[in-house]
Structure formats: C-alpha cells, structure tokens
Amino acid sequence: MAAAGRAILTTVRNTGRALLMLFEAFFHMRSMFGKRMRHEVMNQMYIAGIKSLGVITVVGMFTGMILALQTGLELRRFGLQQNIGTAVAVSMLREMGPFMTALIIAASVGSAIAAQMGTMVVAEEIAALEIMSINPVRFLVMPRLVALMVMMPLLTVYTNMVGIFGGAVIGTTQLEVTMTAYFDNARLYVVNKDLYVGLLKAMVFGIVITTVACHQGFATREGAVGVGQATRRTVIISFLTILILGYIITRMFYTL
C-alpha cells in the first residue's frame, strides 16, 4: 500500500515537473525568431522530419496496405469492396496516420532526445550551461518542441498520403477496384474535420514526445545505466500517453 502511494506521488510529482518544463519552453518560444535559435530550430526540424522519412514511408505504406487488405476482404464478401477507399482514407486521417507517425517518432526521435539529454547530464554539459547562465530549457527543449510541433503534422500528412496510396495499390491489384473508383470513393465520405482532428492529434503527440523525452533525459542519474533507463522510460511513457490522449481527443470530437 505504502509502495503504491509512493509510486502515485512520484508520478504526480514528475508530471508536474514535466508540465512546468513544458510551460517554460512555451514561454521561451518568443526567442525562436532570433538568427541563432532559428538555425537550431531548422536543424531540429531536419533531424526529426527529413531523417525520419524513410521509416515513415515504409510504415505508412504497409499500414494502408494492411487496412485495405483486411477491410477489403470482409467487404468483398458482401460485394462492397468499392468502399475500401473510404475505409482506408477515414482510418488513416482520423487515427492511423497520427498514431503510427507518433509511435515512430517517439521510438526514434524521442528516445534519441532522451539519450542525448541524459548523456549531457552525465557529462555535466547541462550544469555547464547553467553556470554560463544559458537556460537549458530555452537552449535545448524549446527548439525541439517547435520542431516536433511543426514536423509531426507535416509527417502525418505524408503518412496519410503514403497510407492511402498503399491502400490503392492493394485495391487495384488484389480487390479489382480501379484507381479512379478508389479515390472517388475516398473523397465521398472524408470531411475536412477528419484531417484537422488528425493534425491536432499529431501536434499534441509532438508536444508529448518532446516533453517526456526532455524531462526523462534531464532526470537521468547514475551514468550510462541511467541513460538507458531514461530512454526506455521515454518510449513507454510516450506510447501510453499517446494512446490515452488519442482516445480523449477522439472522444472530444466524435460523439456517439
């Protein structure tokens, strides 16, 4: 009982600290337009965005292909396979696009951020910044936060496009649906709201990944072992938070 109480207290305390760090990073966003910070933000956008394109292409394409195949096989039993365009597009835009992108970015970029911050703590680089009166949140967290807030929606749009295209490939090659019919059908039932809610989720997930990764990295103790633990915790906490927040946002915008 006491251990459970301690665990809850620790979780609440860590969440509070992470949120304070996030608010501080938002506060420092006013300095992102300076020449030196702008360069750093662009650099982080390149690392988070461009360098993730390869894996996102593969995951997005196969997500769309799996969706089309699973849905299409069932729809074909009722002669409704023409509707897979809608099924894939709606699933990708509302859920799978932001969700799959967030998981990839949490596992690749989030873990890398946590490892970098953790190593900097262990190597006393964060302490060195503090002594030089350079705020680590402004110098390190803010550019990563801006980069992921911008890149996550863009990457999600890309994942959606690749996924919908993957669905089209399965539709035309295995379900006897023409490319024109697939895209006409996709356009029929997809509404702007699907895209906007998906992009909102993507931005929120970007904030979650940066906050969790930086907070876990800064909280690193005990050398190399601590860096490994921070990285592992970042991936686990990010995944769980993304799932829970994904549900909450869906529930907010899509009522039964």
Give dist(CA 72, CA 86) in Å, integer.
Answer: 11
Q: How many CB atoms lie within 10 A of CB 77?
A: 8
Cβ closer to other proteins: 33 or 78?
33
- Residue 20 binds other proteins, judged by CB under 8 A: no
Binding other proteins (rule: CB under 8 A), the pick from 80, 123, 243, 244 is 123
Q: 3-39 b/e with 16+ CB inside 10 Å = b? A: eeeeeeeeeeebeeebeebbeebbebbeeeeeeebee
Count CA atoms within 13 Å of residue 9 on its CB side: 6
Q: How far is the CB of 122 from other proteins (least distance, A)?
A: 9
- Please report, as residue ranges, which positions from 127 to 166 form the binding site for other proteins (by CB under 8 A): 127-128, 130-134, 139
Cβ closer to other proteins: 129 or 207?
129
What angle (nearest 5°) sits at the alpha carbon of residue 73, between those of residues 72 and 79?
A: 75
Three-class SS state of 178: coil
- Please report, as residue ranges, which positions from 176 to 235 form the binding site for other proteins (by CB under 8 A): none
- Residue 1 binds other proteins, judged by CB under 8 A: no
- Residue 24 binds other proteins, judged by CB under 8 A: no
Mask: binding to other proteins, 30-59, rule CB under 8 A, as x and -? ------x-----------------------
Residue ranges that bind other proteins, judged by CB under 8 A: 36, 120, 123-125, 127-128, 130-134, 139
